[in-house]
Amino acid sequence: FSPIFPIFSHFSPLPPGPRSAPSVHLLAPPPGEVSGPSPTLSLTCLVRGFYPESISLQWQKNQAPLDQTRGQLLGPLKE
């Protein structure tokens, strides 16, 4: 098993104002997906409470960017 991590960066230029670091939560796949016959799993990264609002997220495996053609990237979704 190779861990997969999200990597964040801010777009520039940064707007004026106080900065807030993101709160990051990685959510496990649903139990039915883990025990099911499908060879794929859903990974969810919940990022909240940050400013400025424009960030970039990149999934990495073994410190290398994941090929976006191997999966489906949804979002971002605003609360």
User: pLDDT value at position 2?
Assistant: 55
Nearest by Cα to 8 from 71, 76, 69, 72: 76
Mean pLDDT, consecutive 10-residue stretches, the chain (79 aa), reads 58 74 87 85 84 79 77 68
CA distance 51 to 62: 28
Are the beta carbons of 2 and 53 closer than 8 angstroms? no
User: pLDDT value at position 1?
Assistant: 47
Q: Which amino acid is at 77?
A: L
Query: Which is it for the CA torsion 49, 46, 25, 64, positive or negative?
Result: negative
pTM of structure: 0.62
User: pLDDT value at position 53?
Assistant: 78
Structure tokens given for 30:
């649903």
